Structure 1
Amino acid sequence: MIQSAPQIGFDRYIQLDWMAMAIKVRAGLATLDDLETLLDSAGLGKEAKSKTRTKLNALAIEPRNELVAFIDRGVEIFSPQDDCAMTAVFAWGSAIASYPYFGKVAEFSGRLTAIQGDCSVSEIHRRMSEVYGDREVTKRATQAVIQTQANWGAIERVENGKRLNRPPQRKVSDEKVIRWLVEAALRFMGKAMPVTSLPTMAVIYPFQIDQSLPYVLSKSDNIELRAEGPSNQFAALRS
């Protein structure tokens, strides 16, 4: 049997201010007309605006059924703050939980920049082609995710966009934000993870968790801690 390439899903450039407006729409602090006006001001054509709205719907405004409670918890946490840094955390968590493709690009970006602080864009394209197929749509989608990550402040594009630099990580100290971000990472991974590995997971590479995770996660209603052996503790989504 010939296996088809995994579905891509995320193939649009999404600006952080669009995400901020989408959060406000979901929270009832803005209207869809406000979002339309913002997208119009960006000069998007009819087709591009429609496709962008589809992504914003999935990320914040009309999430998939299994993500509604997760997204709503995020909106409750982030909408009152109206801060670019906090919007970036929501955008990242929502994207990796909603779109495995975004998460996979993030994971490769995190791994490849972990040692020296930078990597070539071509290396990310090669890794993604190995997973999703060496197709033009894969190249376009990967480029869209990279451009989006750069707009969200996770990476910096240098050498005419051919290389990526990793800026200093953003510290995340708020317990509610940490629990939500870890939940997003667990949703992307789809399995229980060692608690000790969570702070350095490549998929959340832009952020530095600045709290003791066992203590913070022990207060979560959505993540459970499991002891496996005398010194191994795993975190998993509650079923």
Structure 2
Amino acid sequence: MDNELTVSSAAKETLPTVFGYIGIGLAYGIVGRASGLTPLMITLMSLITYGGASQFIIISMLVTHSPMISIILSAFLVNSRMILMSTTLAPYFRKESLFRNIILGGLVTDESFALGMNKVNYTDRKLNFTWFNTVNFFAYIVWAIASLVGALLGNFISNPDKFGLDFALVAMFIGLLYLQLVSDKSIKFNLQLLVVGFVLVATFIGIIFIPANLLTLVITLIACEFGVVIKHAFF
């Protein structure tokens, strides 16, 4: 990453995450096609719902003929973590108009949020609309195209797991986590490792007791509180 907040810089820095979008987007399209959805329906869901995990959940619930209210609530709970991300990003865009903030908030993803948090380590804790909107838009377009291609390939591929596409997103987040750990000099490295370890243990234990659609939100809140307490107590 560099210290420029331009369109070209955003495109270059988003490129490595594209492989994650492509992999999981193809898998989503293939699964959607295998579940009986048309390529048009699959693509429209990516353009309108635009939430990887929630889209997989919606498909599984549609297949089991779940009530519409249950589908809507499940999608909301899975994506509720975006509220926390948007709250974290909001201070960087105080001077932007309400319309621009709505655009940014509507298209923010886990990946673009992670990229943004990495970027501020190189820009003196600054972000702008041009850079972040380019990151979001790039992700949005690639996700929609990958979903459509996956849907078209769905007629020929019955089991996407054998190609390892389901690991693409995991691999991408491992890379983003590494970049965050090595680039953020405002927080001690030992503290970051401690919080990462806490998240791993808490997730492992939490998945036994907490519904999957709430797990990410609950663990995020608990880990944030843990990090704040440990930082003030020992760092």
Q: Same fold (TM over 0.5)?
A: no
More strand by share: 1
Higher relative contact order (CA 8 A, sep 6+): 2
> What's the TM-score bracket when you normalise by the shorter of the two chains?
under 0.3
TM-score by length of 1: 0.27
Higher normalized helix content (fraction of residues):
2
